[in-house]
Structure 1
Amino acid sequence: MSVDGDARTALAQQLRQLRDSHWPDLRVTQAQLSAAFRVSVPLISSWESTHTIKIPPLQRLEKYAAFFATRRSLSNGTARVLPLSEMTPEEAAEHQRLLDELTRLRKAALRFQAAGETAEAAPAQDAFREGPLHFADREPITIICSQVPENDRLKIPYSSPETPDYIELYKYSDLDSLFELHGHLRAANPRSLVTLRAPEDLRSDDLTTHLVLLGGVDYNQVTASMLARIELPVRQVADWVSEKGPYFEVNEGDDTRRHYPVTGGSGDNLRLLEDVAFFYRGVNPDNVERTLTICNGMYARGVYGAVRALTDERFRSRNAAYLRRRFGTAESYSILTRVRIEGPVVVTPDWTLDSVRLHEWSEPTHGD
């Protein structure tokens, strides 16, 4: 497609055409897509508008491709998105064809989204806007970061509001991860409000935005609460008393496995050689039109590794592409991963390597 004004509307026109005439004898309504995608009808309408351009995120285009890949999306009078695992080879090929076309149109449209953005700058921006840390335009995002326990906080200089040099950020326990993630979210979602909260500072509307949780079940009560509400085969056990220490436990049928961090030395010479990190993405249980993302680890450097997997410019596109290939249109999925520590350095995990991934899980989208 040439770089001209048509690129602004081509994607919207294609989405409307899919709905109106993809199947000549069957017209799909916006209400049916709304039910299948679990989003509002006005949002579907905004993606089809050629007047006020609103470009859908890539994960929504994946749902479009899956929906229109098979007429079974409308079988039994219920609109739904079939998981890729249930598609025939012919349906899977049609899904890939549609996704390739919609992705191409989206990339062209993105070049015109921001005022003054040049065609040369667009490829760098695309890397931000195609991963799971990019959300629909102007939808609010809330980071809830784990916090240092109050008794430990009292030992940190300038952490008390009573001191003239009070630094509020000292109450957060995953500052490396927070610094990295906050900057990436702002860059990937320039039109969205990104709010930072500690669990002790939550407000009534925070939990119904796109939620991004940093930190484990011991220092982040919201992480503990959300994981307790989600049926996952992975559980974090903060056992800091026993000899082996804390671990992630995976339960699949009769098989139970524990994944421990790797340490060297003991006592004051204890060193972390490899942490275990957990990444989860699913529907926000308090607002089905928003998402829940969790970056977790047994130690702070595991949390940082989970974040860097999707922010490190050398790995974020590769890891995001792996998530799309592996989980397709799944609403909820997770990865348990190794995070290697080299001295003081956290090595970004490459999820395309089998040796890095400890466990993967996804929930089929049967209810869509």
Structure 2
Amino acid sequence: MTSRFRFPDVSLLNSFSVTTLLAVAALSAPSLALAATTVTLTPVADSYVTPDAPDANFGNSGTFVVNRGYSEAYLRFDLSSLPANAVITSVSLSALAYSGYAYGGDGNVYTSFVADDSWQEMGITWNNRPTPAATPVGEWFLWYDFTPEDKRGINSNAALIPVVQGELAGDKQVSFRLHSPGYKTNYRSRHVTNAAQRPALTLTYELAPVTTVLEPEADAYVNRDYWGESDWNYGSALELVINYGFDRKIFLRFNLASIPAGAVIQSVKLSATAFTGVSPFGDGNVYAYLVPDNSWGESSITYNNQPAATGSPLGWWWLWYPTNNAYFDQVGVTEDPNFIPVIQAASDATDRRVSFQLSSPYYLTSYYSRETSNASKHPKLEVTYLP
């Protein structure tokens, strides 16, 4: 399994430059998927049905039979032990036969997907059996005369992969029917004492990155002007304002608690939706800085008590508003890799929070705050990680 690199606690970030953190992170950057994992599942239910006894149930038998038109077997597997973000790369369905007979004709044992998982091991009969899909998803061939011999039938057809992947995304149960047009085969069921002789579903999977979109748990702007507003709080405002002339800056704080502990951060995107701006001259970039102190309050932060930002900008965006049309929505976005070690450190820290300051040297821009009614316009922190 890929090793998990640990960044320093977010409280220590003042002593690390962003450049240093990125250099260390590059040496230990994880790939986009963890190493492949293989698991083998045994059925949670299996049985066979036969038209010779259309209302009989054989769910507690140590054997199930596949015999031309005279009997077919049903198996169900529970996929709930797999991670929800597992990407299935291979599937093998197998069962151990111990005897059979080759009547002639097509002796393949075909696997068919059964969408209805509601059948019961101790209740399924020929008359109430669920209907399988019309097209098989693979097969195996085992030849027998009258001589008993253990032979394992294995179906590793790639058509099994989307079936299992789809059921993992659904009710996390997958059912199959086994049938043969020409041959008879007797198999050991899940009820045999020797676990190695039971039917099996062997799955190999990788973990796909998971993306979560977070809104701020707190946002506000601070304002230094010439009318004594340095002690005013704007935490309940519907807008977030950047204005270089009055040193108006935006503060955002995000709670990372929904990201699993120990997750490896893959990418980060910070965004905010602006609705107006003025572009007088000079550097119009909006820069995002780390704020190590997460203790500031949305309803109490002011220009005079604002926490300090630290280090170089983590990223920036640029939005142009012409003077003849200064009111329309634009989304500022930064996906700079500088954010990755910062979010990793914050995710691994005790309080699992991270704060940013947004400011610009020369431009003026107004953004929707988290208090606006349209949630799609709230600031966002999009984090992709491996659990």
Smaller-chain TM-score bracket: under 0.3
Q: TM-score, normalised by structure 2?
A: 0.24
Q: TM-score, normalised by structure 1?
A: 0.25
Structure (1 or 2) with the larger CA radius of gyration: 2
**Structure with greater strand share of residues:** 2
**Structure with greater helix share of residues:** 1
Highest RCO, 1 vs 2 (Cα 8 Å, sep ≥ 6): 2
